């Protein structure tokens, strides 16, 4: 990865748009799009996303005890309005159901295999559609 690609990965991980990244790096949005299709680039981006997720998961894990104690105190404090206690209770239930999706593979060779498979599948499907319309 060159320096601009590394910077693009960091900016993508922050959720920046292709146009914004392209302007910041003085490249075209098409260049950003091409980088994004490269398995090695995608693997590096996915690794960065895995690292971010792991860091945030650990931070959240460290705060869970304190957060639960705060919610418990709120739920049990008669001085806090019932609507606020109810909101805390619903939020607790809602957060208990969260299922965060995993970033993609960090293995460039695996991503290339997936790309090749998807291309073959898409070509086969396109060929089938052409046959069925004749």
pLDDT tens, residue by residue, 62-105: 888 888 888 888 888 989 998 888 888 888 778 777 665 677 88
Which residues 6+ apart lie within 8 Å of 29 measured at CB? 18, 19, 21, 22
* 111-121 mean pLDDT: 89
Which of 5-9, 19-23, 75-79 has the least mean pLDDT? 75-79
Tell me the two tokens of residue 48.
């960065």
- Classified as helix, coil or strand, 28 is coil
pLDDT of residue 63: 83
Q: How far is CA 131 from the centre of its chain?
A: 38
Prediction pTM value: 0.56
- Give, as one character, the DSSP assignment of residue 1: -
pLDDT in tens, 24-62: 999 999 999 999 999 999 999 999 999 999 998 888 888
Report residue 79 CA to chain centroid gap: 40
pLDDT number for residue 134: 43
133 has pLDDT over 50: no
**pLDDT number for residue 131:** 46
Question: For 27, which DSSP code?
Answer: S
CA angle 15, 105, 111 (to 5 degrees): 105
DSSP per-residue letters across 67-108: HHHHHHHHHH-TTS-HHHHHHHHHHHHHHTT--PPPP--S-H
């Amino acid at each position: 990865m060159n320096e601009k690609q590394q910077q693009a990965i960091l900016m993508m991980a922050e959720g920046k748009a292709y146009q914004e990244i392209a302007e910041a790096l003085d490249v075209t949005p098409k260049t950003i799009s091409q980088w994004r299709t490269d398995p090695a680039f995608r693997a590096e981006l996915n690794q960065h996303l895995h690292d971010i997720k792991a860091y945030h998961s650990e931070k959240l894990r460290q705060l869970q005890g304190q957060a639960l104690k705060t919610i418990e105190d709120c739920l049990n404090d008669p001085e806090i309005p019932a609507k606020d206690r109810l909101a805390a209770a619903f939020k607790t239930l809602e957060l208990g159901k969260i299922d965060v999706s995993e970033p993609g593979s960090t293995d460039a060779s695996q991503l290339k295999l997936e790309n090749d498979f998807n291309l073959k599948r898409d070509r086969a499907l396109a060929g089938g559609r052409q046959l069925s319309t004749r």
